[in-house]
Amino acid sequence: MSTVVKPYLKPLPKIDEFNKPFFDVLKQHVFSVPRCSDCGDYGWVPYPACRSCHSTRLTWTPVSGKGEVYSYTVVYRGPGAFGEEVPYVICMGRLDERPRSCIVGANMVDVDPFEVAIGMRIKIAFEDIPAEDITMWRWAPRGDEV
C-alpha cells in the first residue's frame, strides 16, 4: 500500500486505552485482534470481553491478515472526501484464523470494484498516514491464490 502525502480529510478512529495496542502494532504493519485466553477464540471488533465465553482475559494477538470476502458493497456516491474515490468497495472479510470466525470491515483497495466476489481471497493492507501519526487497515486482493 502507499503512504498518504496530501492532507487526510476522512474520519479517523478515536484511540483509547483499550485499542491503543492495536494501533501501535498496526504502525509496524502487523494486524492483531483480541484473543481470549480462556476459550481461544479471536474477536473483532475490539471489545473488552470475549464474545464467545464473556471472559475479560483477552490478549492482542498478531494474525495472518489473510482471509476471504464474506460480504461487500460497491459505493457509487461517497460522502465528503470519500466521493473522490467512487466507485469503491466496502468489504467484510473473514480472517482465516479460527475457531470463531473473525469478520473485519474495511475499504478494499487495489481492485476493480466489479471483479470483487464472495469467497475471493484477500489480505490486510496498510495505509500509513504520517501527518496524522496513524496507520489504517484496508483489504486488498491476494495475488498468490485464485
pLDDT tens across 84-138, in order? Answer: 999 999 999 999 998 888 999 999 999 999 999 999 999 999 999 999 999 999 9
Torsion region of 25: left, alpha or beta (phi above 0 gives left; psi -120 to 50 gives alpha): alpha
| Residue 35 banded pLDDT, cuts 50, 70, 90 | very high
SS3 labels along 17-85: CCCHHHHHHHCCCCCEEEEECCCCCECCCCCCCCCCCCCCCEEEEECCCEEEEEEEEEECCCCHHHHHH
Q: Note the residue count of the chain.
A: 146
Interval 49-83: pLDDT, tens: 998 999 999 999 999 999 999 999 999 998 999 99
The per-residue pLDDT for 2 is 60
Q: What is the mean pLDDT of residues 28-52?
A: 92
The per-residue pLDDT for 62 is 96
